[in-house]
């Protein structure tokens, strides 16, 4: 379990908040690779799709969520 798993699931993120998280974290100069993030059934918006893909493809993150709205 990673810190993001606890944060996202325990705070009941809305789609807008989860999307803002994905966009914001994808814009950081990340050093963490291979992070596993579970967001339960929370969906992301179309605006966050590119950010989510960047985390998966560039930083090798595994993201489990409710999919795109």
Residue-wise pLDDT tens digits, 3-47: 566 566 656 778 999 999 999 999 998 788 888 888 888 899 999
pLDDT for 54 equals 96
pLDDT for 36 equals 86
The pTM for the full model equals: 0.84
- Has residue 42 been placed in a domain? yes
Radius of gyration of the chain (CA): 11
Q: What's the number of domains the chain is made of?
A: 1
pLDDT for 44 equals 95
- Has residue 69 been placed in a domain? no
Range of the domain at 11: 3-64
């Amino acid at each position: 379990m990673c810190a993001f798993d606890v944060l996202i699931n325990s705070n009941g993120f809305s789609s807008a908040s989860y999307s803002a998280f994905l966009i914001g974290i994808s814009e950081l100069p990340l050093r963490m690779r291979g992070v596993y993030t579970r967001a339960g059934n929370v969906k992301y918006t179309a605006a966050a799709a590119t950010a989510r893909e960047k985390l998966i493809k560039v930083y090798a993150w595994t993201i489990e969520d409710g999919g795109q709205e």
